[in-house]
Structure 1
């Protein structure tokens, strides 16, 4: 274990156990229910929660180091957690950011918050400290984007209810709560937190992708599901870099895939005894060409780790801006959106090539189904398909050439001019103008 951070031994042990069962679960397509339970018990869901509130108080660089270790054991599980960490980040964003706030007490809502908002913050801090987990439920088929969502919140005599169908609900099947995007009768885009354990919520493990098969990214169906009034918020009222945070988790997954590929290639080459009559040495583990191939994969793993930690530093800067001016917050949010986009552009080719390169090391035995080494390519190819890098490259180029700001809040769905203009950042002055 490479974790050198203030996290307890039971969490370290839980992460290690994830790796022991990962291959068997991949073969049988078994969800990591017990493993997620152990991780939550160890505190994986409260890494960023301040210590006075029952968490570990880690920043994003430290949190990412823990999640990178988890991703190297099973790259599917960090993706299970990304909706949870997004809700957690919004909660922390709403906490009191005053430098003179008492260090020996749990953080409160911002000082200008209404009493109800303060109670919501405290209630959610208690939930996170108790180990409650949040899953993601944003994406819909068809149009499904912001201002086009078919999931609706309606007012009834018994309070708000939400109805709709969500796809790719990563982590929801393991969770206590669902983070749901929806519209109200006036067309306002909302973020709604819904208890999973109620009659109006059904989740199916029906994700049919060839990779990331155990992320629990199935379909959620909500039918007049109960929503507490305090759990309704405007989507754009949340912390301003929420989409970038989701993308950061995909980068953690990608880095974990290539680290696992490098580990497996090294282990299997070290154990390998058979070689070829025209090989360089009698022992495969001393053959310079095979060592070179493993070294190439190792280098990509190091590159991916460094890139992901760099985006984590951008997240820390964005979070620190919560006590600054609104303009400073926007600039920091733009920076982390660009950072995650650039990382996706920079890493997708090297990682896909690296997880293919491992088969050059191991010969025909490397394609044995019992080893399931193809899972590394399948998982990498799947995660790089979620949010196509070609758009990220265009956005980075537009920023470099024209000074254009990135769109900070975006979604899967059919393009909609009104929707884009509503969520896009205002145009920047072109470089050199």
Structure 2
């Protein structure tokens, strides 16, 4: 399926976009309503990033559009998208606003787990909420756990309370949860039993704090979540040993999603570069052309950015094809499923290494197009590098490269937790 055509910021600015747009059904990858939504998101992205305006209005539009139901079957109220179609949308959303794309990353990761797990009444209930527009957030990380991404839980615990439980503890880096309707939390049930709970974010005793102060991805709500004597019902607790728990050891989606967002950032850089050239009123006295648009050096730079965008998108979608193969392998036996999961995890790890590098190099090339005047704070063009660098810092590339090398040399399986 061809990608949506590139559009310039001028074309976006010329559109009259109504933020009260009504959606009669869940948006699909090819629906005009989705393009209108993405145009609206792109229109305010730079201003939101510069002035730290949290995108609550945008997330509400996403909720109403039921974008979060892309992967849910049509019969169940979703768009029924393939993984490739889904990641095409991820790239387009990353192009429009990487903050917004990152906000819904955990939503899609949890939704994918629910879809992959054995059907049950509670899984169907949560998927129905997503089909109706609910957004799911995440609370996993504890600073007391010294090996990040291990899945271990130290302080967030359930204690019995009648026919249910009480939840107490603190989580960090809860990306997107301040915007969410439900939150997915890893907990201890006993000293050696780990489980997951999915509960409404508005429940009494949940405190969501926006205290993320990173130089990039400033609007993702990647903050602290505190649970104080929060009521949890018995059927809201998924033990890792339950039949309807997701048993796949590889956690591919979270990392590939971030890589898709970085691919989207390169598209945004390309758009900004072409826009800068068309609006550039002057050039250097020793330039070889009077008009910036006719300068072969600037043309070469934009050509390189276009090639970077194409390569990044192609790599991400090739890895996403593995997720479709993984879906098709369901029911073929555990051995076949694990083999495809390993291959897909390997593809996603390789994709990260290349796409992150392309994103950071592209963000630097942008300033070769615009010159010193484009470094003004008001232009906010540094947001591309800041955001790409922050996204790339999730599970740093040298860890990925080492794991890939160990696999290629020694046949050592990739890690089965964290971002693999």
Q: TM-score, normalised by structure 2?
A: 0.89
1:138-177 matches, within 5 Å, as 138-143=140-145, 145-177=150-182
- SS of the residue corresponding to residue 4 of structure 2 reads coil
| 1:376 aligned residue | 384
1:130-279 matches, within 5 Å, as 130-143=132-145, 145-235=150-240, 237-240=245-248, 243-279=251-287
Q: Is 1:12 matched up with 2:12? A: no
Unpaired segments ≥5 residues, structure 1: 96-108, 110-116, 412-423, 425-433
Displacement of 1:242: 5.5
Displacement of 1:149: 2.7
Displacement of 1:142: 3.7
- SS of the residue corresponding to residue 330 of structure 2 reads helix
| 2:372 aligned residue | 364
Displacement of 1:10: 3.0
Displacement of 1:253: 1.4
Displacement of 1:12: 2.6
Answer yes or no: is the 8 Å Cα contact 1:78–1:252 preserved in 2: no
1:274-285 matches, within 5 Å, as 274-285=282-293
1:64-103 matches, within 5 Å, as 64-94=87-117
1:37-116 matches, within 5 Å, as 37-94=60-117, 109=119
Displacement of 1:5: 5.8
Structure-2 separation of matches of 1:67 and 1:227: 33
RMSD: 1.9
Structure-2 separation of matches of 1:228 and 1:194: 9
- Closer/same/farther in 2, CA of residues 253 and 235 from structure 1, 3 Å limit: farther
Q: Give the count of matched residue pairs.
A: 391
Structure-2 separation of matches of 1:227 and 1:80: 25
Displacement of 1:7: 4.7
1:308-347 matches, within 5 Å, as 308-347=316-355
- SS of the residue corresponding to residue 335 of structure 1 reads helix
Unpaired segments ≥5 residues, structure 2: 6-26
Q: TM-score, normalised by structure 1?
A: 0.86
Answer yes or no: is the 8 Å Cα contact 1:169–1:216 preserved in 2: yes
Structure-2 separation of matches of 1:89 and 1:310: 18
Answer yes or no: is the 8 Å Cα contact 1:65–1:309 preserved in 2: yes
- SS of the residue corresponding to residue 228 of structure 2 reads strand
Structure-1 separation of matches of 2:152 and 2:48: 38
Q: Following TM superposition, where does structure 1 have runs of at least 4 consecutive aligned residues deviating by more than 4 angstroms?
A: 3-7
| 2:362 aligned residue | 354
